[in-house]
Structure 1
Amino acid sequence: MDLQISVFLFFILFTAGHSFSCYVCNLTNSCADQKLKTCPSGSSKCISLTVASQGQISVHLKIKDCAVDCRSGSMNFGISKISSSCCNTDQCNVQDAPDPPNIPNGMKCFSCDGHNCSNTVSCSGTEDRCIKATGIVGDQSIDVKGCVSKSICDSTFIPNVESVSCCAGNLCNGAQSVTQSVLFLCCSLLSYFLMH
């Protein structure tokens, strides 16, 4: 009987000591230099992101990290596109997230470019919803609009974002003007996917 209890306790200690880990790389064109990271308590998913920004400054980033919660899919805000892959097994994010889709799927949504939110963007791939989000950066309220996959719309909590609404249908996210830069809220949304 003592042997069975000892084996049981050893098994509990062994399995409790196993930590969840994910591959990590940040702000590079590829994740060739990725490393393993023991995830903090509460993290149960691994995320891989590919970010492509367009316009005056063209940037292509590959990012990997631990996540509390995340969704696979893509977002297109006109000036930047983000593709995310999430998984829930140990070290499952060894592969990079695919590049954001470029083949239009026929749907269009409004997007913001500085003060003007009457621009339109063509949705691609699984982006089957329009998104309108308002976030707080410091003491400023910032609006973003664009295309998004339904799976990302189903996220329940995004820090520093006051409201997120998704809708199905062409140009359903309205064309109001805003007074702040879209990049700050994109960074908040991106940090959500990195940290959660």
Structure 2
Amino acid sequence: MKLLLTLCFTCALLITAESLNCHVCANQNCSTSTSVACPAFSVCSTVTLLRRSGTSTTVTVNKNCSTLPSCPSLLGSETEWSVNQGFAREARRQLCCITNDCNMRTLAVPNSVINGRQCPGCASSAESLNGSCNATVSCEGVEDRCFNSTTLNSTQLMIRGCISNNLCVLQAIFGDLLSGSIDITCGAPCSYRMSTLLLTFAVAAHKVLL
């Protein structure tokens, strides 16, 4: 498997050594883009990023010449990942490719539908700073794991919440999303939120058994 991955990576490097044209955003909101010649060993990238802090949500589109290390997904394969701390969330949908102008398309906004899973989290940045997190986070979109982490830089933070499984194996990307050096533990199964009807049924059944 390691040999196969090495061969694939080497082939990708040889391909990207050739001249490649990619689309680059022509204005701040990327409503238009232009084709430019990229440096050697580049790949084309298109990213739609969703950031939420408190009640404020922003969506940013970026198209550019990128590098293979900044593309965690398979070339030509659209990938979505997300991390949700409760009081803040960041989700990305990304496509990296190696044919001329293959990043012209604008990707859809990452999924924000609550998926029924729940994880321990922080209610605010203040709780994260003082390590007193005791909230519950409703997971959204592709978030299918719980995570718990602490930063390794000068400011010690408790960071926990929901995460997509693909970020659990890409901790370097995860650290970039949270703007810091971190040590994370994730992969614990999330619990599905019990509906009111199911809860009522469970209570009734318990009473019958008693």
Letter in 1 for 2:189: G
3-state DSSP class of the match of 1:140? Answer: coil
3-state DSSP class of the match of 1:97? Answer: coil
1:10 corresponds to which residue?
Answer: none
2:91 corresponds to which residue?
Answer: 82
Q: CA deviation at 1:82?
A: 1.3
Unaligned runs of 5+ in 2: 1-14, 74-78, 128-132, 192-210
Give the Cα separation in 2 of the matches to 1:132 and 1:37: 42
Structure index of larger Rg:
2
3-state DSSP class of the match of 2:167? Answer: helix
Question: Structure 1's 27 and 104: CA in aligned 2 closer, same or farther, altered over 3 A?
Answer: farther
Q: How does 1:119-134 map to 2 (within 5 A)?
A: 119-134=135-150
Give the Cα separation in 2 of the matches to 1:99 and 1:18: 31
Q: CA deviation at 1:25?
A: 3.7
How many residue pairs match? The answer is: 155
Q: CA deviation at 1:83?
A: 2.3
Q: CA deviation at 1:62?
A: 2.2
The RMSD of aligned alpha carbons is 3.3
Give the Cα separation in 1 of the matches to 2:89 and 2:16: 41
Letter in 1 for 2:80: G
TM-score between both structures, scaled by the size of structure 2 = 0.57
Letter in 1 for 2:85: F
For residues 12-63 of structure 1, the C-alpha deviation after alignment (integer angstroms, 9 at most, x for no partner) is: xxx88733454334994x4213344555555446241322314254423223
Q: How does 1:115-194 map to 2 (within 5 A)?
A: 115-116=126-127, 117-136=133-152, 139-155=154-170, 157-158=172-173, 160-170=180-190
Q: Which has the higher helix share?
A: 2
2:125 corresponds to which residue?
Answer: 114
Indicate whether 1:59 and 2:55 are aligned.
no
For residues 105-155 of structure 1, the C-alpha deviation after alignment (integer angstroms, 9 at most, x for no partner) is: 211123332132322222223211123343356x32344323222122221
Question: Structure 1's 63 and 27: CA in aligned 2 closer, same or farther, altered over 3 A?
Answer: farther
2:24 corresponds to which residue?
Answer: 24
Higher RCO by CA contacts (8 Å cutoff, separation 6 or greater): 1
Equivalent pair of 1:127/1:147 in contact (CA under 8 Å): yes
